[in-house]
Amino acid sequence: MSADEFLALGLVLIIAMIAIKSYLNSRHKGCSGCHHKCDSAFSDKK
């Protein structure tokens, strides 16, 4: 694998990891990941 291929693959993996992490975070806050805009700051009751 050439250096540029290695770099490109690394970038793809980082992007995928960020996406998975943010998805898991949103799931934790009770979001189903739909199109609907909502604010996770509102997901806890007093």
Partner 1 sequence: MSAEPFPVVAVMGNPNTGKSTLFNRLTGMKQKVANYPGVTVEYHIGTLAGEQPIQLVDVPGTYALAAHSPDEMVAVDVLAGNFKAIEKPQAILMVIDAANLRRNMYLASQVLEMDLPVVIALNMMDVAQSKAITINPQQLAKMLSCEVIPIVASKGKGIAELTTALRAAVQQKSIASISILQDLKQQAHDYAQQLKPKALAYEIERALIDEDGYAETRLIEKYGIDELARLKQVRLKIAKDQPLAALEVKERYHWVNKIVDEVEQREDIKTHWSEHFDEIISHPVIGSLLFISVMAAVFQSVFSWATPFMNWIDGGTGWLISELSERLPENALSSLLIDGVIAGVGSVIIFLPQIIILFAFIIILEDSGYMARAAFLVDRLMRFCGLSGQSFIPMLSSFACAVPGIMATRVIPDSKDRFATILAAPFMTCSARLPVYALLIAAFIPKTEYLSGFINLQGLVLLGLYLLGIMGGIGTAFLLKKTLLKGQTPTFLMELPPYHLPNIKSVLYRLLERAKIFLKRAGTVIFTVAVIIWALAYFPHSESIQQHYEIQREALEDESAKKELTRIDNAEQAALLEDSYLGRMGKTVEPLFRPLGWDWKVSAAVIASFPAREVVIAVLGTIYSVGSEVDENDKGLIHQVQVSTHPNGQTVFTLPMVIGLLLFYAFCLQCAATVAAIRRETNTWRWPIFAWVYMTSIGYVSALFAFQVFS
Looking at the Cβ atoms of 24 and 37, the one nearer to partner 1 is: 37
Q: Is 7 helix (H, G, I), strand (E, B) or coil?
A: helix
12 binds partner 1 (CB under 8 A): yes
Q: Are 26 and 40 in contact (CB under 8 A)?
A: yes
Backbone φ and ψ of 43, nearest 5°: -95, 10
24 binds partner 1 (CB under 8 A): no
21 binds partner 1 (CB under 8 A): no
Token pair of 2 as six digits: 């050439």
Looking at the Cβ atoms of 28 and 38, the one nearer to partner 1 is: 38
- In the complex, which residues of this chain contact partner 1 (CB under 8 A)? 2, 4-5, 7-9, 11-12, 15-16, 19, 22, 30, 32-39, 41-46
